[in-house]
Structure 1
Amino acid sequence: MTTLAERRIDRYRTRVDGPAPLVGRTDPAVWGKTDSPMLRRFDADGYTIIDELLSPAEAADLVSEIERLESDPDLRCDERVVIEKKSDRVRSIFEVHRISPSIEKLVRDERVAGLARQVLGSEVYLHQSRVNYMPGFDGAGFYWHSDFETWHAEDGMPLPRAVSLSIALTENLPYNGSLMVIPGSHRVFVPCRGETPDEHYRESLREQRIGVPSEEHVAELASGRGIAQFTGRPGSALLFDSNVMHGSANNITPFRRSNVFLVFNSVENVLGAPYAASAPRPAHIAARDFTPVR
């Protein structure tokens, strides 16, 4: 747990006992210069879509790689692999850049890490990597949440000075569980109710119940802002702020959705003790190697 002194300066208190009001964010979204249309969109909306981050050939190579990982029997018992709650299918593989040389190379690609440096205005390190598989017919969605709320509460990330990049490896369609975001919601922090259970990650990575906003807060955020959706071809990408409210519906279509998900944090925003948990999550979920990506 954090010390009393750390709690006094916690501007993003969460996992509270009762209802709590929305908190206006005082930290910037773009820590560097907003000197491009992409960065201005990111600053205003909390996200931006990049239509062709990777070529079709590069995306196809990565599809082959993640299919290989998914079918590797030696990985099934690895603690970095998360299995769907209602089936025996792979939901996510964490710390995937340590498992796959292809994804490790992707992390260091200037088209990828360079985006994070532009937004965060500093050198960056990789906070988290994973592949999300959403199989057809029984792929479970992710309820509305702010990633920063979890990273702050359970990993000890001080400020929302982190950015996520979700790269489509299959078609992200309007009907196969593609990510939904509430534009502009990154400007507001949503405190969540409930005490963090010990080893909460073991359940939350399959189905999150603690660290999710109330329906009233989601309705308030979406009122006047609406809801947008990331759809695109393989190789397209969604770059989004750590605090933007997002989620996805279940995939009941025959069409699977698979994305590589990379999180970069500023080297000036390294993790400390969790703000609302008894112990930090494992390093394969929240890295504590703060070496800048080169």
Structure 2
Amino acid sequence: MTLTDARIQDSYPTRITTEPELIEREDPAVWGSDSDGPMSAAELRAHEANGYTIVDGLLSPAEVQGYWQELNRLSRDETLKADERVITEKASGEVRSIFDVHKLSDLVAELVRDTRVLDRARQILGSDVYIHQSRVNYMPGFKGNGFYWHSDFETWHAEDGMPRPRAVSCSIALTDNYPFNGGLMLMPGSHRTFVQCVGETPDDHYKSSLKEQQIGVPTHTDITKLAAEHGIDQFTGPAGGALWFDSNIMHGSGNNITPYPRSNIFLVFNSVENALEEPFAASSRRPEFIASRDFTPIRR
């Protein structure tokens, strides 16, 4: 299938050269039912409506400490410094993210299979799941850079070939999230709208976009429209809390100029029934550490 063919058959066209449009989503955000996992019918309805769910205290304080030590170990690992999976800040050179972390850390690999995590992923997506992407994000105090407004699905669809927004992300806070240290912001309900982005995808776009994304971001006009309609919420609270959010929800974070760092483990679950195809708006696939093509279901 050529790139042109893919775009003709595409329900969510993006990376266009004309005026972008807001497209009504065709797919549900919740595919399972209350009998499929730990979330109640009311919680699933709220997730369908808002596009996200916060689970306070998913990890105990002792578990948080263990994962925090693991993140420190990974960031100091000299053997990883030259690894492409380690993304550094554009200006400071400090570690920004480490991808494929469930393959680099036995502790995170166990977390992926933890019933507190895996059962919710299966329930929301209504099927077996696999890890599309995993990473740890570091946002140090004083100089941690944020992430501009975006929809993950827009990128995963355009550059990875994810057919539909049948994926969910789990962000687990390993530090306290305050309103002032770069906490993640979301527009509740925005997941019902797919926002087209302007500009063709450059070759090897991931090499620059993981540091600072400029292609695959919505216009100021569209962000303003969504904010006016949906408002903006923020994920705050003590370390150990988890944010489950839909792949198409509009979200972003500001810079952290406070002394308080903000770090999290980020796990993306995709339905095995939504396996990646060829990219819908890029000339080649991104590397496996960003977009896994091992669709083997996760087992406990």
Please say if residues 7 and 281 of structure 2, whose CA atoms lie closer than 8 Å, have aligned partners that are also in contact.
no
How far apart are residue 39 of structure 1 and its match?
1.3
Aligned AA (2:75)? E
Q: Which residue of 2 aligns with 1:260?
A: 265
Residue 225 of structure 1 is matched in structure 2 by: 230
CA apart distance, 1:20: 2.0
Aligned match of 1:16: 16
Work out whether residues 81 and 94 of structure 1, in 8 Å CA contact, stay in contact via their aligned partners in 2: yes
Distance 1:16 1:161 in 2: 23
Q: Distance in 2 between matches of 1:282 and 1:203?
A: 14
Q: Is the 8 A contact 1:2 1:275 kept in 2?
A: no
Q: Provide structure 1 residue ranges, at least 5 long, that are not aligned to the other structure.
A: none
**In the alignment, residue 284 of structure 1 is paired with which amino acid?**
F
C-alpha distance in 2 between matches for 1:71 and 1:111: 29
Q: Deviations over 1:4-63 (max 9, x none)?
A: 553332110000002121000011110112652221111000001111111111111000
Q: Is the 8 A contact 2:197 2:219 kept in 1?
A: yes
Q: Deviations over 1:228-275 (max 9, x none)?
A: 000111110100000000000000111100000000000000001000
Q: 2:200 aligns with which of 195, 202, 207?
A: 195
SS in 2 for 1:122: coil
TM-superposition CA deviations, 1:167-206 (whole Å, max 9, x none): 0001111101010000000000000000100000000000
- Give the counterpart of 2:119 among 114, 119, 122: 114
C-alpha distance in 2, partners of 1:150/1:185?
16
Specify the code of the residue in structure 2 equivalent to 1:164: S
- Note if 1:47 corresponds to 2:47: no
Q: Would you say 1:208 and 2:210 are equivalent positions?
A: no
Say whether the 8 Å CA contact 2:3–2:283 is kept in structure 1.
no
**Alignment of structure 1 residues 140-289 onto 2, 5 Å:** 140-289=145-294
| 8 Å Cα contact 1:134-1:257 kept in structure 2 | yes
Relative to the length of structure 2, the TM-score reads: 0.96
Structure 1 segments (4+ residues) deviating >6 Å: none
**Cα distance between partner residues in 1 of 2:2 and 2:269:** 23
**Could you tell me how far apart the structure 1 residues matched to 2:75 and 2:4 are?**
44
Letter of the aligned partner of 2:23 in structure 1?
Answer: V
CA separation of 1:2/1:151 partners in 2, compared to 1, >3 Å: closer, same or farther? Answer: farther
45, 53, 62: which one aligns with 1:57: 62
Q: Distance in 1 between matches of 2:209 and 2:181?
A: 22
Structure 2 runs not aligned, ≥5 long? 35-39
Distance (Å, rounded) in 2 between the aligned partners of 1:123 and 1:79? 29
Contact 1:45 1:183 in 2 (8 A): yes
Structure 1 CA distance for aligned equivalents of residues 257 and 4 of structure 2: 47
Counterpart for residue 100 of structure 2: 95
Distance in 2, Cα, partners of 1:212 & 1:155: 16
Corresponding residue SS for 1:40: helix
1:37 aligns with 2:39: no
Structure 1 residue 80 and structure 2 residue 85: aligned? Answer: yes
| Counterparts of 1:209 and 1:2, CA distance in 2 | 25
For 2:146, the aligned partner's letter is: G
CA distance, structure 1, for counterparts of residue 167 and residue 152 of structure 2? 10
TM-score by length of 1: 0.98
1:130·1:261 contact (CA, 8 Å) conserved in 2?
yes
Which range is displaced more, 105-114 or 145-154? Answer: 105-114
- Alignment partners' CA distance in 2, 1:279 and 1:5: 15
Paired with 1:225 and 1:79, the residues of 2 have a C-alpha distance of: 37
Name the aligned partner's letter for residue 24 of structure 2. G
Partner SS state of residue 57, structure 2: coil
